[in-house]
Amino acid sequence: MSASRSETTDPRGPDKPDPDPESESGAGAGGGGAERDEAGSDLLAALLDGMDAALCAFDADGVITHWNREAERILGWSAEEAVGRQGFAGWAARTADADEVRARLMAVMDTPGRQVDEFALLRKDGGRVLIRTQSSGMRGADGKPAGVYSAFSEVHEQIDLERSIALSEALFDDASWGVVLVDVDLRPTVVNGYAARAFGSGRGSVLGRPLGELVVQGVEEVEAALHHVLAEGAPKSPAELWVSVPVADGERRRCWRSGFLRLASPLAEEPVPLGVGWMFQDVTESKLAAQEGDRLRFRSSQLYRAGRAAAECEDPLEAATVYLDFALAGFADHALIDLVAGERPDGSAAPVRLVRVAETPSGGGAGQGMPVETGGIPVRYVTGHPALQAMDRNGSVRASAPGASAGSAASAPAQAPGAVPSPAWATYRQWPPDSVHALCTVLRSRGRSLGVVTFLRGASRATFERPDAVYAEDVTIRVAAALDLFDVLSD
């Protein structure tokens, strides 16, 4: 059975002699070594030709042994024309320079480390090119100097590279604007000091974190801009983004003027997005100053127009409402005029009674102020009402419903989701139910307090601030003068 199995399985058959193991192994080893040497030479040639830097090598006698494609591109001489030549004399260097070039290149063979030199070489077309070389000596198997290899490039290309590196280091070190590199997952990978301070964090703590952890409000707009850049490319002009960033005592509203650049790999055959370069500058102060200037100019213009329109009114009460109509534009949603009913003796502790004489429509929409007929019945203001407080202080009083956002658009913390002020707050104070913020100012004329003007804002507006109170007082002075004349004519 065993003999039969061997005849069946042996491919050489029973009559063929076994080959000589020594001859077979020797042939195999010899053939494999030749193949490995040839593969190694092909690999070396491919590596040299694929290098981005030009490379040439010299043996110990200064004869060129290697010359890659980048060297051919820079100087125009092919490998067939360069390999085997004795240095650069007579072809790639002027005769007057050839000896010096050869001496400086070959000198590195006997010294350790690299040596950087700059030479002026000749192109095949006769032009001259300044190159920068990094040369290093080679040692043979016996440890003796065997030659020199030199990598070189055009000086202007090297300078461009150094400029690019210097620019990158400057941007991420001491630039006067924020620079953030964001990967395709919209996570910061590199930030400079300005950007880290803008986020309120250290440079290292920002890296790799989602933008939602760095920006409280406005993160959707930032991410939408980054997605657009990744998909469509950089926008043509800077964009102003309002964001809120966390600070120790809450949040801070900032305006960042931003520019974006799509980053693509220079090594890929087709553009492959690496992320987005985001550059921004904090322009909050200048933006707010410009807004304040525009607001002051508009309000001054409104007061001027109101004065011209009120001068044409025969009825003093109509003139008073004209002032309020012009003041409401861009300032408030509603306005009320309450006048003192009767005289309160000086020093008397009796509560002031106020009668509503004019108001804007309270049906949910703004409109012109109109006189109202109340028959002289006082408004049911409870003790501590802002209008009564203004009368007691002879000044302005501001109030906001609980849960309403407080502060300006630049510094106010966000209103909590679902924290909608109740209409009962305004109704209880005899104001339109959509009112959220109130500003009460006293009507003063000839040393007397004639009543109170109340300006009201809805939930879509910010609370009244001190500059708003100053403007309201300016308007109220004009209204008081008209109402004082109305009081005189009524008597």
- The pTM assigned to this predicted structure is 0.60
In angstroms, how far is CA 155 from the centroid of its own chain? 36
CA distance 182 to 277: 6
Of all residues in the chain, what percent carry a pLDDT higher than 90? 25
Helix, strand, coil percentages, rounded to 5, for the chain: 40, 25, 35
Q: What is the model's pLDDT at position 434?
A: 87
d(CA 137, CA 43): 22
pLDDT value at 458 more than 50: yes
Compute the distance between CA of residue 229 and CA of residue 233 in angstroms, rounded to an integer: 4
Residue-wise pLDDT tens digits, 414-449: 343 344 567 888 889 999 888 999 999 999 988 888
**Does the pLDDT value for residue 450 go beyond 50?**
yes
pLDDT on residue 487: 60
What phi, psi does 134 have (nearest 5°)? -120, 110
Residue at token pair 């360069």: 82
pLDDT at residue 48 is higher than 80: no
Secondary structure (3-state) at 392: helix
The two tokens of residue 262 are 């799509």
| Residue 491 pLDDT greater than 90, yes or no | no
pLDDT of 271 over the 70 cut: no
Q: Quickly state the pLDDT bin for 32 (edges 50, 70, 90).
A: low
pLDDT single digits (tens) 149-158:
888 888 877 7
- Taking a C-beta distance cutoff of 8 angstroms, is the pair 419, 403 a contact? yes
Handedness of CA 280, 281, 287, 290 (dihedral sign): negative
Parallel, antiparallel or unpaired: strands 354-359 and 239-247: unpaired
pLDDT, one tens digit per residue, over 378-402 is 889 988 999 999 998 888 999 998 8
Confidence of residue 454 (pLDDT cuts 50, 70, 90): very high
Identify whether the C-beta of residue 274 lies closer than 8 Å to the C-beta of residue 264.
yes
Distance CA 368, CA 349 (A): 36
Range with lowest mean pLDDT among 83-92, 339-348, 377-386: 339-348
Helical segments of 311-429, H only: 316-328, 386-393, 423-428
Closest CA to 128 of 154, 150, 149: 154
pLDDT recorded at residue 408: 44
Where do the H-state alpha helices sit in 207-347?
A: 219-232, 284-310, 316-328
Going from the C-alpha of 231 to that of each of 264, 265, 275, 286, the distances in angstroms are 12, 15, 11, 32
Residue entry with tokens 């002026």: 120
Contacts made by residues 351-354, CB under 8 angstroms, sequence distance 24+: 351/383, 351/388, 352/388, 352/391, 352/392, 353/378, 354/378, 354/379, 354/381, 354/387, 354/388, 354/391, 354/451, 354/452
Q: What's the CA gap between 25 and 19, in Å, rounded? A: 10
470, 441 Cβ separation under 8 angstroms:
no
Q: Which structure tokens are listed for 80?
A: 């067939």
**Residue 405 CB burial class (10 angstroms; 0-12, 13-18, ≥19):** buried
- Model confidence pLDDT, tens digit, residues 201-230: 877 788 888 988 889 889 999 999 999 999
Assign 129 to helix, strand or coil: strand
Q: Which of 9-13, 198-202, 363-367, 418-422 has the highest mean pLDDT?
A: 198-202
